Amino acid sequence: MNKIIEISSLHYSINNKKILDDINISFGKGEFIGLIGPNGAGKTTLLKSINGINELDAGDIKIAGKDIRKMKDKELAKEVALMNQNTSISFAFPCGEIVMMGRYPYSRTFGGFTKEDSEIVNKYMNFTDTINFKDRLITQLSGGERQRVLFAKVLAQETDVILLDEPTASLDITHEEQIFKYSKELSDKGKTVIAAVHDLRIAIKYCSKLVLLDKGGIVKEGTAEEVITEENLKTAYGINSQVYFNTVSNSLDFFVR
């Protein structure tokens, strides 16, 4: 595996409460990883840590062999983009400007943005079906429309690592499938996508690898078959389930008893 993210002995706490506890994991180029686990498991915290937002208690995170603490903000932002879970935006910017913010790591101090930046913004706004919102204020969009604009912003950052925190939480089924399908296409082209996902079926369908977190630790990482087991679902979610092969969807499936 050609590793792009290496996390070793990561510990992170807030007010002496352990939030991430001794995380050791690597992610390869071209993987589409689904981070799963119950509320409060540490999915968002892990994504923020990879994006350099959290100051770690111990351990380190390397992206393409470089310790993220030694990277300048713009340098890290050319490698990693994060789409936040929180879509409640209070600043009233036009959507085109929001997506252009994804080009910030490439801007020059006095030069601002180029024609190429504008073309990239249009490309991803067309793709996410948000081009018609370009001049509208983001505060005037629905939750799902906003989420698509924020996805366009992350894509416009054109990084090798893309972190998505519950990217489809407010999306209708068409746009949900579109975001996962496109994320898979990006990973097929060599990008590494890590998405925190609650919908286990969509994670099973699209992700090449799953990481099950619980109480700040990794319960299991591997293929859907390795991770989605009755025992693991009981450990992490406390549910009694039956895992089976669904011959209609042609994939692993489960139901809660």
Ligand X SMILES: Nc1ncnc2c1ncn2[C@@H]1O[C@H](COP(=O)(O)OP(=O)(O)OP(=O)(O)O)[C@@H](O)[C@H]1O
Spatial CA neighbour of 156 closest among 112, 86, 101: 101
Residue closer to ligand X (CB basis): 14 or 58: 14
Question: What are the two backbone dihedrals, phi and then psi, of residue 21, each rounded to the nearest 5 degrees?
Answer: -125, 100
Task: By CB under 6 A, tell whether 41 contacts ligand X.
Answer: yes
Task: By CB under 6 A, tell whether 19 contacts ligand X.
Answer: yes
**Nearest-approach distance from CB 48 to ligand X, in angstroms:** 8
Binding mask 162-201 for ligand X (x = CB under 6 A): ----------------------------------x-----
Site for ligand X in 190-249 (CB under 6 A): 196
CA angle 33, 211, 69 (to 5 degrees): 75
Residue closer to ligand X (CB basis): 42 or 96: 42
Task: By CB under 6 A, tell whether 49 contacts ligand X.
Answer: no
Site for ligand X (CB under 6 A): which residue of 30, 34, 37, 167?
37
Task: Report which residue type is found at 137.
Answer: L
Q: Are 30 and 1 in contact (CB under 8 A)?
A: no
**Nearest-approach distance from CB 85 to ligand X, in angstroms:** 6
| Nearest-angstrom CA–CA distance, 49 and 21 | 13
Report the DSSP pairing between strands 192-196 and 32-36: parallel
**Nearest-approach distance from CB 23 to ligand X, in angstroms:** 12
| Nearest-angstrom CA–CA distance, 39 and 35 | 12
Residue closer to ligand X (CB basis): 160 or 166: 166
Site size with ligand X, rule: CB under 6 A: 11
Chain centroid to CA 223 = 18
Question: What are the two backbone dihedrals, phi and then psi, of residue 7, each rounded to the nearest 5 degrees?
Answer: -115, 125
Q: Residues in the site for ligand X, rule: CB under 6 A?
A: 14, 19, 37, 39-45, 196
